[in-house]
Structure 1
Amino acid sequence: MRNLINLWDKDGKKIDLSKYGLIGRRLIIPSPSYDSTEEKVTGRPGTILLGKQLNPRSLTAIFVVEAYDYADIILLRDELYKLFSEPFYVGEVKQPGKRWMVECIEEWEPERLNINTDSIEIPLISRKGVAESIGTTLTPLEWDVDMWQWGMGLQWGDYAYEQTENEFTIFNAGNVKVDPRYFPLKIIINAETSDYIEIVNHTTGDTYRYNGSLRPTDDLVIDGIRSTKNLASVFRDTNKRLLTLASGANKIEVRGATVERVIFDFKFYTL
């Protein structure tokens, strides 16, 4: 019987399923659903959609548990209760490049198939409602490792995430916008300026500005919502705005400084 499910702990370390007698049979992933904000206008039919928000996703992981004997399967049951009590990642073997951060918060019960075999269905909740790539933009794009896969929207060799020019393109291969308030996004800038530096994403209309001088040896880092220069916070010296990355190509321009190096480090997210 072939295993069809991969598991990782919350730190990203792959879990050896054979230790628990697990054989993954199916990972059920439902379609996304949304909460919508609508407005009614008198005299106009229907409603006007003002916006929508992605809901969490309820996944189901189906396993067979194989043990040596009855006593062994009882022990494995207790170990599985502990295993699924913590947040973890789950993914499909046939899609090795992406995974879901999930939790099991509902009750589940093993179904006895025979004296040494159980079937279990684990109800899972993905709170963000999206899958993430296992690799980041700084992970080498090599197909012989279980980091990437066909069908992820990757552009082989067309885009780089370490740039040395003032104008360049950053490609978000996911179909979800990368917003650093919700998803990790780290930008490292080495540049020279005596006054200020602006980073403009012409695709999204976002502009980040740091008011201060920089030498090429300084590290200006935008990590999520934090801004540091050589590890010291410089948030008060910024325009307190963030850069987001739309799905697909993002046209980036650096103003007010001579670029030595700019690095974009993030994962791709998909519905």
Structure 2
Amino acid sequence: MFSLIHLLLLAVSAQASLLTLQSPRFSVSDPTGTQIRSEPVSLVQKSSTPVNLTANNVLKLTFQVVDKETGKGVQPHQTFLRFYDEQSGEEGIQPVRVTPGGKAKFELNLARPPLSLPPTTDAPLKVSLIIGSSQYSPLSAELFDLILPLSHPAPVHPDEASFHVLPEIKHTFRPEQKLPPRVISAFFAGLVVAPWAVLLGLWSQISPRAPHLFSPSILPFVLSLGAFEGLLFWYWVDLKLGQVLLYGTILGVFTIFTGKQALASIGNRRLNRK
């Protein structure tokens, strides 16, 4: 019971303990160290005149964190400066080092700006101080508005264009193939078939004693000739040139063999007649 009451008293006393700043002041100096502006900082109301920094100016902020009741220096657990741009919504948080005695010093040199500084626009940055400690109530105060030179645009990567949206690819198709008139197609089809009509006509004029077209010795040769005609038609429809040469070579060997057999059969019949 006693320990619980003791913890409650400690919690109440911790909430009642307040922090404040002693001798808070900022100054702006040029590269030679000459002060251009130096003013105390109020925790109640921020400075009405914005702090304007050029590329060669240095901003220094000094203060001491003390216990409001005892005036003794305190080292808080966390101390930050917040730079906020209301126009772009960008912000940066910069930690500030505080000594065990509560003294702190922050320096902003635009020749070497901290990485936490947000990109700057033509709008001023609102600078706030945030202090937190487990033994004291948090302290937050708006210090002043800070005007900085505009940030340089980010360098363009050489491959940046590769990640942009490219124009839509539009395919251009060939027009459909125009077929010749049916009369012309029929004429050339007849021209292709004409040799077979001539062959059959001449064969019909031969003496009946001549070898028959469908005899076992001559029919394979006739079929091989018909296969050549079918191969050419197949090439026109589907086959490629390499396939036609392969199949034509195989068919040519068969045609030579059957042709020799047909000629030998005809020769034997003539010898038998004599």
Q: What TM bracket, shorter-length normalisation?
A: under 0.3
Larger strand percent: 1
TM-score, structure 2 normalization: 0.23
Higher relative contact order (CA 8 A, sep 6+): 1
**Structure whose CA Rg is larger:** 2
TM-score, structure 1 normalization: 0.23
